Structure 1
């Protein structure tokens, strides 16, 4: 495995694959904080050149975390289709990039290719792609999933209604939900982040959202984004949960910091299929985000893009209905400014799609980052062009419970109208019945939540 190159009149020698992967990353404050980033643009370009010439076999033969030491590595390794991998093991990372961008490489080729790759291979090719490359390649992937409804069809942009409330007030949650519905948002999921992580509180929120779904015959799914153990207790107590939720990290140690393991996820997987209220077959909702492993001191010296890819390698074991990266939520320690957030959003979306996952993005930032709402508008447009399955909607783009900035319900409606996207098919038919949409466009009734306050 060649880890040296001459560039700009200098010789660049990298210690191991882990160093090449880290230094080939686009600039990320998280990698700098971890002490693994490239020293300058010249070293970054040298690392990209070295990485582009490594083969997929080189990457698999030199695991960043050995499978015997990490259960996420084992999940990723065990999922590889050996016949497909044998066909591509001698491809260089650069050749993989060229294949992904070829005009005659379509979604079926991507779907098959995905089964023969590890997450580290997907992370590697991401590092040698431009933003436009990431958009072009991801736009080829159509990942359709089904719970009570379906989403992911080409031309569909779904939205998660996130009607959070700082005191878990059922009345407050419903008020925000009704605004979302009035703008045609909620086809991905009605997903509430609870303040109170108890089984009783989770059950109350699930019952309230399910009650609204039944009353108005809304073709969607509900979820409360509590810890998976709390959801399991609530479901065993009779709570009507369509989807099971959990945040994921890319290492076993990182997941331990979240209080989860593969064994626990397996148990929750069995429970939601036996006692959940979703029709399925896809019954999971996962969230990720670059930097979580570093914040938990569980990164093993690996860069945050590669760790994010490993989250997706774990997620695909459970065939989720939806998955999103909360791209700018953690803060400037990991993604410093709008340029880094936009790059990370495009990277994460591409890597999720190449894993065969129904990828969404929470287009968001915290108030202490060097970013603003215009930057989020830009990222939302880029992701819509890239074929993102869904994005998050919160009232006025300002989450009053989690205290961060995202995209609003009417932002998603505007993206659909401007870029020719539609809601999920069943949900659009419901919107037409409710008088909120006609011929793919919102009617004058849209944006008036009083429609549901009877």
Structure 2
């Protein structure tokens, strides 16, 4: 439906709600590449002004991607909870922003509201928010998940220990795992991106991780970040699988580019659930997303990349995941050009996911050809820690030698936990204290001397 706004004696036309959303989006290179961005800052500001006056209910009446053409649209519309939506149903996007920033929108209220919000609603309101608005609202959200520990509680920050190796060498992987555990990392998941993506190789890695976790009784979970079909086959072969991983996107076409659909994700979810390997909960899925994935798959339908990213969270929400991770700067400068755009995108993604009730973490990262550096990542790390991010990455030296990108290190997690008084997952914290790795004040106890249990393992 065409939308028209008169301002300053000029008339501005937007062919539909999707075009208005795109032009209201803060500048990013991916939208320029797609040809949907506003022509200049003035046009962007006018579109944001117009978007603020759009009723939230319009997003239920005007699908950005037609219902009959896209299973993600059908999921969003069919799962919408009108009773949960009722408290804000009368609001415009601008009214919604003001309400979210008020004391009325507290943690319990936002948790109850989440099923009533669509990705398009939360993407729209994010476009008219400053960074501090995104941080403030997200900090009021709490999305808690459980498998062998409890992730997402207020006052806590978890980490994915990422011990990748370019040849999947068991010794190299084990060294990185030991290093990460000594720095209190690994409570979100010990997750490996395999260099060789076949069922036999994946099963070997799963068995290795399971042996480590079981032998040392670590209250955490493992995951090999392989395609969901490989994970299903590994489960069928009896591999000790904790979490099933998959990259997901916000349109049916983009998901088909990943070789998946909603039915396949349900099959993976059900397979992992059947194992009942969790001890304190059964959230068994780990999803990764990233702004620009739909455009790179030519599945964007002329919609801006940030709105499509929010739609990916509706896919995630359907399967009650343990972890959802926006790999914010990984795709490259074609989609997020520099540190400024990466910082904005990371905060948007976290905000949108949390409002939708998704357990959001962030891979605070950049590629070597982006106009960004580690100072930019320090800023995003600190801001996301303030906003209550569920988890970040922990990688030796912040340099992934297998995927060849820059992210956050084991030390970075210690920094943000110390500065912002964040703790690991409660069960993992107790294990760290029992292993004499940390004390109750989060101080590392490991110096030159390894804990006795690990010394024994390393003895010839």
TM interval, shorter chain, is: over 0.9
**Within 1, Cα distance between the matches of 2:231 and 2:368?**
30
TM-superposed CA distance for 1:241, in Å, is: 1.1
Match of 1:306 in 2: 307
Q: Relative to 1, partners in 2 of residues 1:263 and 1:324: Cα closer, same or farther, differing over 3 Å?
A: same
Aligned to 1:20: 20
Q: Corresponding residue for 2:373?
A: 372
Q: Residues 447 and 203 from structure 1, CA distance in 2 versus in 1: closer, same or farther, beyond 3 angstroms?
A: farther
Deviation at 1:79, TM superposition (A): 1.4
Match of 2:69 in 1: 69
Say whether the 8 Å CA contact 2:183–2:444 is kept in structure 1.
no
What is the 5 A alignment of 1:283-432? 283-432=284-433
Please tell me whether the aligned partners of residues 422 and 440 of structure 1 are also in contact (alpha carbons under 8 angstroms). no
Decide whether the 8 Å contact of 2:276 with 2:282 is kept in 1.
Answer: no
Q: CA separation in 2, counterparts of 1:294 and 1:185?
A: 34
C-alpha distance after superposition, 1:341-382 (max 9, x if no partner): 000000000001001011100000000000001110110000
Tell me the CA shift for residue 162 of structure 1: 0.3
- For the 8 Å contact 1:179–1:449, the answer to whether it is kept is no
Q: 2:138 maps to what in 1?
A: 138
Tell me what 1:230 maps to: 230
Any conservation in 1 of the 2:72–2:315 contact (CA below 8 Å)? yes
SS of the aligned residue for 2:57 comes to: helix
Shift of 1:76: 1.0
2:358 partner SS: coil
Q: Deviations over 1:99-150 (max 9, x none)?
A: 1110231111111221112111111111111110000000001111100111
Residues 2, 16 of structure 2: 8 Å contact kept? no
Q: Say if 1:53 and 1:94, in contact at 8 Å, map to a contact too.
A: yes
Quote the Cα distance in structure 2 between the aligned partners of 1:45 and 1:78.
33
Matches within 5 A, 1:10-409: 10-275=10-275, 277-279=277-279, 280-409=281-410
**Which piece of structure 1 moves more, 325-334 or 108-117?**
108-117
Partner-residue secondary structure (3-state), 1:143: coil
Q: How large is the RMSD of aligned CA atoms in angstroms? A: 1.5
Matches of 1:427 and 1:400, distance apart in 2: 27
d(CA) in 1 for partners of 2:66, 2:13: 23
1:2 is displaced (CA, Å) by 7.8
Q: Secondary structure at the match of 1:56?
A: coil
Q: Does the 8 A contact of 1:148 with 1:278 survive in 2? A: yes
SS at match of 2:155: coil
After TM superposition, give the deviation of residue 6 of structure 1 in Å: 3.5
Segment drifting more, 54-63 vs 442-451: 442-451
Shift of 1:12: 2.0
Contact 2:435–2:451 under 8 Å retained in 1? no
CA deviation after TM superposition for structure 1 residue 415, in Å: 1.0
Indicate how the Cα distance of structure 1 residues 50 and 397 shifts in structure 2: closer, same or farther if over 3 A, else same: same
* Kept after mapping to 1: 8 A contact 2:360/2:391: yes
Contact map agreement 2:2 2:17 (CA 8 A) in 1: no
5+ residue gaps, structure 2: none
Counterpart contact for 1:182–1:446, Cα < 8 Å: no
Count of aligned pairs: 454
CA distance in 2 between partners of 1:60 and 1:131 (Å):
27
Q: 1:240 to 1:113 in 2, by over 3 A?
A: same
* 1:437 counterpart SS class: coil
Cα 1:449–1:29 change in 2 (3 A) is farther
Greater Cα shift, 114-123 or 190-199: 114-123
CA distance in 2, matches of 1:18, 1:157: 35
Larger deviation, residues 113-122 vs 441-450: 441-450
Structure 2 vs 1, CA of residues 448 and 232 (structure 1 numbering), >3 Å: closer, same or farther? farther
Contact 1:146 1:321 in 2 (8 A): yes
1:183–1:446: 8 Å Cα contact kept in structure 2? no
Tell whether the 8 Å contact from 1:199 to 1:234 is kept in structure 2 after alignment: yes
**Helix, strand or coil: the match of 1:344?**
helix
Deviation at 1:87, TM superposition (A): 4.2
Q: CA deviation at 1:446?
A: 5.6
What is the Cα deviation at residue 337 of structure 1?
Answer: 0.2
**What residue is the counterpart of 1:435 in the other structure?**
436
